A and B are shown apart, each in its own frame.
Chain A
């Protein structure tokens, strides 16, 4: 009798020999080799050019610190761009996220349309957006802010509606039962449940955007990236080094602050 409780069901042979795991590893290996053959990427070229790479590193190891005061203003601009773009994107994302959440919107067609639109926005590469908006608005931070706003909107709206779908529906039911309107229900029963996670995702997106905005600037979308491109174009690698180091510090500080805030919030 006691023995029978220990009788576990037999694992099928597929599970016992890890067929799936081994299979996928092989498939991935083959894909890796094939794709490197097809794109012509090979380790040889990288190794044969390593001396050029080393020369660049030597120059960069003598940062021109006097350049620092030139880039403080554009660094500041980069941070502003990131904050502004993230805020615009996140605020716009809230109503869309509410409409995309399956526990709030019963109408499948509406929800489907909203989600399709959000998916579409998310597929737009940020570099492409930046190139387009620089062409439209000219070189400067306007193009950067709009690009970051759209990029944040796409990313945050999905994170937001996934959070909304995990909320406790009890308070909503209670608010409905006292005769609340839809908007009041959301304000009283949904927002308090998701606010902390919203802020957390906002900060996370801000982190990503500070990094992204340095790259966008490279395309002329304002901020520090413009200077990065200029210094590289002039082979002024000691200035490049300053820009990279300064950017690194800014990114680290922003990451630190946002990590701290998120820990406090959750």
Chain B
């Protein structure tokens, strides 16, 4: 009922993104994401889903418009301020993006490097409390026994859970997941999606997931948005979503 409860955590204001080669990535995107929402983004390959996600933590720069997080415009952040913004936004990738030759523990701890000065990161001088947090994070994704295993000795699903534990170390208020289950089998897909759902419900983290699977989108989302050729062509709370709607987003014309 209060005004603050409805204040969006992320707001896009007429955002356009045109890549250097002229490709339109995003076209006049204008919508808001309330705090604590589980938002699923669907759309054909090349529709701009990854682009949309990466503008939120400024991994991609936008060409015009404005993005606000907690009502602060993020476009002007540089250097330290930009790194601090990213500290609080977790990101999960289709290919997990772990350092393969490093241990699970080191990969999880790497989620903290934004909070430490560079020299402490290099010497690996993480506090005992933070090392304990790494164990807790692994516990939440049920991987504590693997803490000293090399990352590349884990299965895909396990690697993605390590990536989620790395994100947990950030203590994020937002998690961006770019097709987090695209290279996983159905069982591990459920594991990973359930974990994201738990973080959303138990910790109140706002979760934004790009998905190719309509079934998964309907199962987990609070709200589904659809992109086509960089444009927002669909936006409905889950209760209003019909299969026919989603089929239309995936139509090629």
Interface centre among B91, B95, B97 (most CB of A within 10 A): B97
Q: What distance in Å separates the Cβ of A241 from its nearest Cβ neighbour in chain B?
A: 47
Interface centre among A170, A178, A181 (most CB of B within 10 A): A178
How many positions in chain B have a CB within 8 Å of any CB in the partner chain? Answer: 34
The main secondary structure of chain A at its interface with chain B is helix
Q: In the complex, A180 Cα to B110 Cα: how many Å?
A: 9
Q: Say yes or no for B8: interface residue by CB 8 A criterion.
A: no
Q: B86 contacts which of A179, A183, A192 (Cβ < 8 Å)?
A: A179
Residues in chain A near residue B57, CB distance under 8 A? 177
Which chain B residues have a beta carbon within 8 Å of chain A's beta carbons?
A: 57, 59, 82-87, 89-91, 93, 95-102, 106, 110-115, 118, 121-122, 163, 166-167, 170
Contact A173 B97 (CB under 8 A): yes
Contact B98 A174 (CB under 8 A): yes
Given A175-B110, A178-B111, A178-B113, are A188 and B99 neighbors across the interface (CB < 8 Å)?
A: yes
Q: In the complex, A189 Cα to B110 Cα: how many Å?
A: 10
Q: Say yes or no for A236: interface residue by CB 8 A criterion.
A: no
Q: Say yes or no for A176: interface residue by CB 8 A criterion.
A: yes
Contact B101 A176 (CB under 8 A): no
The 9 lowest CB-CB distance pairs between A and B, nearest first, are A179-B114, A170-B97, A179-B86, A179-B83, A174-B97, A177-B91, A179-B87, A192-B101, A184-B121
Q: Say yes or no for A140: interface residue by CB 8 A criterion.
A: no
**Closest residue of chain A to B115, judged by CB?**
A179
Residues in chain B near residue A176, CB distance under 8 A? 59, 86
Q: Say yes or no for A187: interface residue by CB 8 A criterion.
A: yes
Contact B118 A184 (CB under 8 A): yes
Contact B59 A181 (CB under 8 A): no
Residues in chain A near residue B106, CB distance under 8 A? 188
Interface centre among A170, A173, A174, A183 (most CB of B within 10 A): A174
Can you offer 24 A-B residue contacts whose CB atoms are under 8 A?
A168-B100, A170-B97, A171-B97, A171-B99, A173-B59, A174-B91, A174-B93, A174-B98, A174-B163, A174-B166, A176-B86, A177-B90, A178-B111, A178-B113, A179-B83, A179-B84, A181-B83, A184-B113, A184-B121, A187-B122, A188-B113, A189-B99, A192-B101, A192-B102
